[in-house]
Structure formats: structure tokens, C-alpha cells
Amino acid sequence: MIGEKRCNIQIHPSQVTRAYESLFNPTDPASIRCFAVLEGSANGRIFSNRIQNPNWAVVQEAAFGSLYLGGEVRRPILRNLIARLRRDGDVLLGLWQEDLHWSLPPSVSDYSGYTLEFTDRENNTSLPGIPDGFELRWLNRSMFNRILSKELLLTMFGSAELAMERGYGLCLMYNDELMCEAFAGSSASGVIEIGVESHPRHMHKGYATLTCSYLIQAMEQQGYRTFWNCAKGNRASIALARKL
């Protein structure tokens, strides 16, 4: 037990090498968030047995609390680590149904659910028209405190400045009123995640489709592939993802 505790150390992104990245499967659910933490482009925590030549590592991204398992993670170490992390907030573990890692975490959980991922997109350059009186603005520092996703982005990146340095926000405005906001980030290995928030008073009007369409095209023009993740029960998000 003493040996297990000693080999559970926290790693800074500056210490991450290819040996760490090779422990993780890029086809795991929402793996972009894991690799963004490893690359230092998103906030999170990295644990391993040693700095040099690790044989296992665990990553937790800060925004949603998702946990990623790499290499030969032992059950006692993972369960102790989950208990420790739960004192600070939510701990989510996303695995494919056939993943052998299901035997490692505690069998009792507070939540069980499914998510959907959208990664493939047809080459479509057509964009919806912007209605009269509306305009799209790139997110800047003066607008940051107005957006609905402010707290999420602060958790994900650590500051407004880092959020805008490492991601891209696009806001749909009407007479200086914020109608909808879409954000691209975090990113890793040429893939960038897309999220959107519509103002509660202006939902179901097509604003999310409009804003995301322009943001996705802008990301593709920069060479990114876009990624979308949502809960299986979020019908509005699923419909929007399929439309995009």
C-alpha cells in the first residue's frame, strides 16, 4: 500500500513526453479533452507512477471532471485516486461498452448515462444568411463577462485571456444584445471541439445553427477538424449536430 501511494505522483504538462501520450487511445470517448490536457492547452491534472518511462497515467480534464486511463492502471490505485478527486468535485469516466477498464472503478456510481460523438462532416461551404440587423462578432475581452459560458471557459482554460488565446468564440448580436454564442476549444492533434449556448429568451429560432455554421467553417479554413459531444438525452443538441 505504501508503494502504491508513492508511485501516484502528479505530473505537470511541461513534463509530458511522447511516452505519456502513447499510453492513451485517441479513439477513446472525447479523447480530445485528454490530449488537450497533456499538451497543456486545457486545464486538468495528470497522474502517473513516475516521470520517466511511465507504464500508466490518469488524466482528469477540469471543465467536466472527465477521467482518462492510459496504460496499466491498477484497480487499487484508480479507486484511491477517484476517492481523492471526488473530494474536489465530480469525477466522470467515459468508456466504450466493450472496454476492459470497466472492472477497475468502483461499482457504485451516482450517475450512469450515454453520450454521442459527432466527428464526420460533409464538405459543405454554404452558409445560412444573417438576418437584417444581426451581426456576428468574434469574442473579445470586453464581451467575455457577458457570455453564458463564462464560468465553463474559466474552468477549462484558467482565465479569459487564455480562453481567447487557445480557443475561438463567435457571438450573434442584435442591437448589442447577445442572442447566441458558440465556442471552439479545446483542441488537440488538429481536432477542435464545438460548443454553443443560446440565450434562454432566444432559443428555437435557428440562431445556434447560424452561429455554429460560421464558426465551424472558420475552424475548417484554419485546418481543424471539428468534434461535437453531447448527452444521449439532449435531443436539441443531437438535432443541431446532425444538421451541422
Length of the chain: 244
pLDDT of residue 15: 95
Report the distance separating Cα 109 and Cα 50, nearest Å: 29
- What DSSP line would sit under 156-192, residue for residue? HHSSHHHHHHHSEEEEEEETTEEEEEEEEEEEETTEE
Grid cell listed for 184: 471552439
The residue to which cell 466493450 is assigned:
98
pLDDT of residue 82: 94
pLDDT of residue 123: 73
Spatial contact of 183 and 153, defined as CB atoms under 8 Å apart? yes
Number of domains in the chain: 2
Report the distance separating Cα 91 and Cα 77, nearest Å: 15
Same domain, 78 and 149: no
Same domain, 142 and 209: yes
pLDDT of residue 151: 97
The answer to whether residue 117 sits within a structural domain is no
Report the distance separating Cα 219 and Cα 216, nearest Å: 5
Supply the range of the domain harboring residue 173. Answer: 134-243
Task: Tell me how crowded residue 150 is: count the other CB atoms within 10 A of its CB.
Answer: 15
Give the containing element (helix H, strand E) for 235: helix 235-243
Same domain, 28 and 96: yes
Same domain, 233 and 168: yes
Residues 6+ apart with CB under 8 A from 108: none
pLDDT of residue 8: 79
Task: Tell me how crowded residue 203 is: count the other CB atoms within 10 A of its CB.
Answer: 14
Same domain, 68 and 138: no
pLDDT per residue of the chain (244 residues) written in tens, 0 to 9: 334 444 579 999 999 999 999 999 999 999 999 999 999 999 999 999 999 999 999 999 999 999 999 999 999 999 999 999 999 999 999 999 899 899 999 888 888 899 999 999 887 678 999 999 999 999 999 999 999 999 999 999 999 999 999 999 999 999 999 999 999 999 999 999 999 999 988 888 999 999 999 999 999 999 999 999 999 999 999 999 999 9
Same domain, 97 and 158: no
Model's pTM, two decimal places? 0.91
CATH code, domain with 178: 3.40.630.30
pLDDT of residue 7: 57
Same domain, 96 and 141: no
Same domain, 226 and 159: yes
What letter represents residue 98's amino acid? Answer: E
pLDDT of residue 218: 96
The answer to whether residue 12 sits within a structural domain is yes
Residue where a domain stops, chosen among 67, 82, 112: 112
The answer to whether residue 18 sits within a structural domain is yes
Spatial contact of 61 and 42, defined as CB atoms under 8 Å apart? yes
